[in-house]
Amino acid sequence: MIYYKTAEEIELIRQSCLLVSKTHAHVASILKPGMTGLQIDKEAETLIRDHGAIPAFKGYPGAAGPFPGSLCVSINETIVHGIPSDVPFEEGDVLSIDCGVLWHGFYGDAAYTFKLGEVAADVEGLLAVTRECLYRGIAEARVGNRIGDIGFAIQELAERQHGYGVVRELVGHGVGKQLHEAPEVPNYGKRGRGPLIKEGLVIAIEPMINLGGRQVRQLKDGWTVITRDRKVSAHYEHTIAVGLNGPDILSDHRMIEEAISNNPELSEVSVKS
């Protein structure tokens, strides 16, 4: 069952999403080689709780036990759900950082992939295209379209135009009083298929795109999902609301990109398609 949101509910979700973005921006301001996932996780948890909000991922139930972090920190070949660890980040690492909060009864969810210093040209291209996939998907989130139109746009750019692997096992989702609500929002699909998009739909669109093949493997910790060929993966996510005038992006990557431009340890992701 899809719960469509009122304008008031969308404003509450926007507040949660902006806190997620503020958390990402804070992480972007301190990231550097030598820092660990546990360190940024602690920073994120403190910032979220200082606002009176709850980190949505911490304690999230899974088959192998609750998720231990406030952030998912997915490095290089890790696609998503990386557990924050004490392994220091290295120059050239690609870090996908996913964050969610619960605030005033509503969730916000967003992700951003950072590069620590310079990365290989093919990795740079992957990040730029995955980011573009996110915006191509968002552009399809309009009243009268269907969920399959979003996945089609993402798959078209990533798979057919660039030959990247589009992850099938993990998908975007509705966001509201639950972190993961209906509908599922796959990053692949057919035009005109899937649930009809109506005013008040709030969804997380989150392309997970692999430099190599689309196959994944789950590690024994029950959380970490990596690429089977161990090639790099990227992940960008926004929570958006569908209005009569089109998609309204509730999370804010500009805050993150400003922090990146002020941090000499990070390089900006180029805009390309």
Please pick, from the candidates 53, 147, 204, 255, the single residue that binds Mg ion as defined by CB under 5 A. 204
Give 204 or 266: the residue with its C-beta nearer to Mg ion. Answer: 204
Minimum distance of Mg ion from residue 223's CB (angstroms): 13
Q: Which stretch binds Mg ion (CB under 5 A): 12-20, 34-42, 110-118, 223-231?
A: 110-118
Q: What is the DSSP letter of 161?
A: I
Q: Does 111 bind Mg ion (CB under 5 A)?
A: yes
Q: Does 181 bind Mg ion (CB under 5 A)?
A: no
Minimum distance of Mg ion from residue 99's CB (angstroms): 7
Please pick, from the candidates 93, 109, 132, 140, the single residue that binds Mg ion as defined by CB under 5 A. 109
Structure tokens at 177: 């009083």
Give 77 or 98: the residue with its C-beta nearer to Mg ion. Answer: 98
Minimum distance of Mg ion from residue 180's CB (angstroms): 7
Minimum distance of Mg ion from residue 109's CB (angstroms): 4
Number of residues that bind Mg ion (CB under 5 A): 5
Give 174 or 194: the residue with its C-beta nearer to Mg ion. Answer: 174
Give 75 or 88: the residue with its C-beta nearer to Mg ion. Answer: 75
Q: Which stretch binds Mg ion (CB under 5 A): 35-43, 83-91, 105-113, 245-253?
A: 105-113
SS (H, E, C) the chain: CCCCCCHHHHHHHHHHHHHHHHHHHHHHHHCCCCCEHHHHHHHHHHHHHHCCCEECCCCCCCCCCCCCCCEEEEECCEEECCCCCCCECCCCCEEEEEEEEEECCEEEEEEEEEEECCCCHHHHHHHHHHHHHHHHHHHCCCCCCEHHHHHHHHHHHHHHHCCCEECCCCCEEECCCCCCEEEEECCCCCCCCCCECCCCCEEEECCEEECCCCCEEECCCCCCEEECCCCCEEECEEEEEEECCEEEECCCHHHHHHHHHCCCCEECCCCCC
Compute the C-alpha angle 60/23/51, nearest 5°.
80
Q: Which stretch binds Mg ion (CB under 5 A): 31-39, 141-149, 196-204, 264-272?
A: 196-204
Please pick, from the candidates 9, 41, 93, 98, the single residue that binds Mg ion as defined by CB under 5 A. 98
Minimum distance of Mg ion from residue 34's CB (angstroms): 26
**Positions that interact with Mg ion (CB under 5 A):** 98, 109, 111, 204, 237
